[in-house]
Structure 1
Amino acid sequence: MSKEQSALEARARRVAEKNGYMAVKSTKRTLSVDNGGGFLLYELATNRVEAGERYDMSAEQIIEFFEGI
């Protein structure tokens, strides 16, 4: 993973945290129907999955999700 990609993922996590959410990246090595290898976004107050139920969100999508708020 490049430094640019690591920085983008860290930024996505920070943006989510500032808004009361947690962005979690999949740690599984093998991809499946239920694991796209990306991020899952859930709300910390309710533990409700907000987006990326199948770990299918990219860091860019996490950031864009909060730009509208």
Structure 2
Amino acid sequence: MPEGAIVEPAGSGTDDPPCPGGDYLVTDVARLRQRAVFLRELAQARALLARTHPSHVPSPAVRERLRLDADQR
């Protein structure tokens, strides 16, 4: 697994077989809710990673220019 990869939490229900009986709807709703939480957290982690990725961070020359601009104020 690559470094920083996010693993789906155990018991998320993706590998569970469908529940037999009349209570399957409640179980499915709970599984869907848990899956939604996982996907939301995954999206937040990806957004955080994108913000800190080197392609989104100013180069040393740009940081120096920003520092000089701040000093002149």
In our comparison, the structure showing a higher alpha carbon Rg is 2
> Of Structure 1 and Structure 2, which has the larger fraction of its residues in helix?
2
Above 0.5 in TM-score? no
| TM-score class normalised by the smaller sequence | under 0.3
The structure where strand makes up a greater share of residues is: 1
TM-score (norm 1): 0.26
State TM-score, norm by structure 2.
Answer: 0.26
